[in-house]
Every structure is written in C-alpha cells, then in structure tokens.
Amino acid sequence: MKTYQAIIFDLFNTLVHWNPEKIPTFLWKKKTLKSTNLITYRELGEYCRLFSFEKYHKVCIEVINEITKKKSEENIEISCVERFKTILLRLHVSEPDTLSQLAKKLASCHMRILANATTASQTPIIELKKLEKEYKLGLLSNFDDAETAHRVLKEKKLGQFFSSIIISDEIGIRKPAPDIFSVALKSLKIEARETLFVGDSWEEDIVGAAKFGIDSVWINPGRTRPEEIRIMHPFKKKIFCIPSIEGLSNLIEQLT
C-alpha cells in the first residue's frame, strides 16, 4: 500500500513563478519601483483630477501594509477588489456605484498585469503527468483573486491535472489556517495522514500542513545539500526539501 494517496500543491512559486521583469516600473523619489500603481492610477481616467498620483501611491502603500498585516494576523483573505475599495474610500471616492465600478476596474487592471507576469516551464507538467497516474491531485493556494488564479492555471495548462482547486479568495481564509486545509482534504475525500503537501512557504505551506497532520515537501532553492533533504519538525511530521519541482515524482516514489 502506498504511503500517500493524495498530493496537494501550492500554486505560486511552486508550479508557476513571477517574472519581475514583466512588472511595470516608475520613478519615485529617485528610486525605480516595480509596481502596478502608476498603471492603475491612469485607469481612473477623469477621476485622476480628484487626487494626485503621489497621494494615490501613498494611500496604496498604506492600505497594502494594513491588509498584509491583517491577513497575517487573522489568516483571512481580503480580495483585491476590496483592497481597491478601501484605497478609493481613503481618497474620498464614496458614491456606491462609482466606488464599486472603479474598484473592479482597478483590480482587473492590476490582476491582468500580474497574470501576464507569471511563467511556467514544462517541468511541472511533466511531474504532474507522472503523479496523476498514481495519486489524487489537489491544489490549495493563497491568492486574493480567484478568477486570475484560475486563468493562470488554464493558460499554463495546469488546471486539468487537479481533482480539486481551492483558492483562498473563494472561501475567505488563508493558509496556514487549519480550516483551509480541512476544506482541501474534504474536497478530495482524503485523510491528512494519506496526504502530502507541496509548497514553497515555510509558514503558510509547511508549518500549516504539519499542524494539520500532513507531511510535506518544501520547495526551497536555497537548501540543496544532502543533509538538508529531510528536516526535523516539532509537529512530528515528515518534511522533505528539494530545490525545485523537478524530480518531485522520483522523491515521492522513493518515499512510498
């Protein structure tokens, strides 16, 4: 009998990666910043007259920092649209229809840029093709716009491999919250002890999975020495470490 019956994957920086060269830049206080803020500001059209780009950029940074802190502390997901609504409210755009329409427009622009900045090699497809023959495959990812996550999966030809796809934006909670791992397992009709999680974030993926009773594979390019392949963890779960998704199927074959 196989050690594992199912494998659940993180999406970003595990199966697909961000290409920073595709993020637009602008000059800010003599520094070149990579950000969508200037592009989204221009998407405001006539509403740009209400506030300067300087004011818009400062409020964007302020709100993003607040939301990032709240997400981390409470393990909740706050959608990209809600983020832009908060930004616009701080800038005194409060008429309900205008607020909703502009927030959706800015979120769509922002996410279009991010989606176009993702890259994926053939390696994850090769690995998934090998693994789907023997295991149930699921995907569990933190991302604040589910539509974009599904778009990326479709464009990179990855979505077809998964029996279950859970994006944090769809359920309002994020890894490492136990409830989101529970949702993923229930969708696959599998137990934690029968599951292996594959991800790149130590806290969100590896610690989160371990707390829920799931063994994991940590994708970490910085740990490549043989003695680092297996890591001891206080939650008594097995944690294996490899530098990339390449060779994942061989590792899992050895484990079973």
Digit-coded pLDDT (tens) for 150-192: 999 999 999 999 999 999 999 999 999 999 999 999 999 999 9
pLDDT band of residue 234 (cuts 50, 70, 90) is low
Identify whether the C-beta of residue 115 lies closer than 8 Å to the C-beta of residue 152: yes
Residue 33 has a pLDDT of: 95
d(CA 165, CA 180): 12
Q: Among 175, 228, 177, 178, which residue's Cα sits nearest to residue 198?
A: 175
pLDDT band of residue 228 (cuts 50, 70, 90) is very low
Determine the longest span between alpha carbons in the chain, in angstroms.
Answer: 67
Residue 226 has a pLDDT of: 44
- Mean pLDDT on 86-95: 97
- Mean pLDDT on 242-256: 90
Residue 70 has a pLDDT of: 98
Q: What percent of the chain has pLDDT over 90?
A: 87
- Mean pLDDT on 57-63: 98
- Mean pLDDT on 92-109: 97
- Mean pLDDT on 190-212: 94
Half-sphere exposure of 181 (CA within 13 A, CB side): 27
pLDDT band of residue 18 (cuts 50, 70, 90) is very high
- pTM of the predicted protein model: 0.93
Residue 223 has a pLDDT of: 65
Whether 37 shows a pLDDT value over 60: the answer reads: yes
Q: What is the dihedral of CA 141, 146, 148, 153, to 10 degrees?
A: 50
Coil, strand or helix at 93: coil
